Amino acid sequence: MSFAARLQAELEQFKQEGVYKRLNYLEAPQAARTKMQGRGEVVILSSNNYLGLCNQPEVVAAGKRALEEFGAGTGSVRFICGTFTIHRELESALARLVGCEAALSYVSCWNANEGLCPTLLGERDVVISDQLNHASIIDSIRLAKTITRCQTAVYRHSDMTDLEEKLKAARDARLRLVFTDGVFSMEGDIARLPDIVTLARKYDAVVAVDDSHATGALGKTGRGSAEHYGMLGEVDIITSTLGKALGGAAGGFTAGPAVLTDYLTQRSRPQLFSNALPPTVAGSALAAVRYLEAHPERVTRLHDNTRYFRERLTALGFKPVPGTTPIVPVILGETAQAIRMSELLLEEGVFVTGFGYPVVPQGQARVRCQLSAGHSRDDLDFALTAFRRVGAQLGLI
């Protein structure tokens, strides 16, 4: 069988199993409502655009200004060809936002995570990871294990007893790094950060939190999971993204002590061998941070929309996974049912994604709704009406 034929056979198998991903093409900006090719106007309930800043005029204008002032790209890596001042401004603003001394930007949070474990860990060190951590954390740990031969351990999801057992077993390690998501993207639940930090202090460990789904979305003013728990400044390392609540363009960052970002500048391979964030993205992200700081009511509206949608969805007879974050999963069981529901909702004008195995465990297929401050009550009521119709059609309510 030829190379192309083998790939085609596997793609056909994906389709038979109901896991083939079909792309939907948008003809307008990412917003509460947008235009989809072949569908017309749809309400988006599948975006990480939590604050509705993707198309905020101030954010877009700042990206244009940075494009005109600094050009389209950086030309090379920062230490070779120079670092634009806008990157320095952005990193200062990001550090302030998440309550850390310093921050270092990357082209994605995937790269930020990938640059962390292999840089910090060696043979005498151990990284302890939550069972449901994001794939970027998992790959960072795999890479570190391969390159530096560090030790690894996984604790059951949010199980503090199991985490403590793993910390006890790692007493002899030079560095004990506990790595967790702040908000787990498929479940929408929040890491037990106070308990994790308490255990880390007890066993002299360092805590790293990927706050990608929390930055801009959690806390009274959107400063993330640490603010949510009243713990700003108490988390050792925070990685996060610019590609979700902060305008949704691209980019990520690592924040922590200044000595950490300096060390990553010297040794982190994604930093040393990849171009910096495009200036236009840095400009729009900086404007998004400043907009968030000036408009905390956006966060309040996001939280209000989340409560409203959860309450009304439950009243319809659905059983969303309990929680308070703007990620609202509805568990359906089998992959085919989740995919079918998402297709029927799209026919009703609501764009929401169905997920099945291997993205989520067998038997835990779901549609994952994501709320935004950009949604009006009319948008949410339109979506809820679609859920009622489709739920009745599928016999779910």
Q: Which two tokens stand for residue 11?
A: 């793609």
- The tokens describing 181, both together, are 């998501």
pLDDT of the residue at 49: 97
Beta pairing, strands 206-210 & 176-181: parallel
Confidence at residue 324, expressed as pLDDT on a 0 to 100 scale: 95
Active-site residue (options: 87, 213, 228, 295) = 213
Give the sign of the dihedral formed by CA 295, CA 300, CA 305, CA 310.
positive
Confidence at residue 335, expressed as pLDDT on a 0 to 100 scale:
85
Residue tagged active-site, from 185, 240, 342, 372: 185
Q: Which of 134, 228, 244, 295 is catalytic?
A: 244
Closest CA to 32 of 323, 367, 383: 383
Q: Are the C-beta atoms of residues 186 and 212 closer than 8 Å to each other?
A: no
pLDDT attached to residue 356:
84
Contact by Cβ (8 Å): 328, 188: yes
pTM over 0.85: yes
Instruction: Give the domains, in start order, of the chain with CATH numbers.
Output: 17-46+296-393 (3.90.1150.10), 57-294 (3.40.640.10)
Q: What is the pLDDT along the chain (397 residues), one digit of tens a residue?
A: 899 999 999 999 988 877 788 899 999 999 999 999 999 999 999 999 999 999 999 999 999 999 999 999 898 899 888 899 999 999 999 999 999 999 999 999 999 999 999 999 999 999 999 999 999 999 999 999 999 999 999 999 999 999 999 999 999 999 999 999 999 999 999 999 999 999 999 999 999 999 999 999 999 999 999 999 999 999 999 999 999 999 988 999 999 999 999 999 999 999 999 999 999 999 999 999 999 999 999 999 999 999 999 999 999 999 999 999 999 999 998 888 898 999 999 999 999 999 887 778 888 899 999 999 999 999 999 999 999 999 999 999 8
Q: Is 244 a catalytic residue?
A: yes
Task: Supply the DSSP string of 218-260, one letter for each residue.
Answer: SSTTS--HHHHTT-TT--SEEEEESSSSS-SSSBEEEEE-HHH
Task: Please say if 185 is a catalytic residue.
Answer: yes
Q: How many CA atoms lie within 13 A of 153 on its CB side?
A: 20
Inter-axis angle of helices 279-294 and 85-98, nearest 10: 40
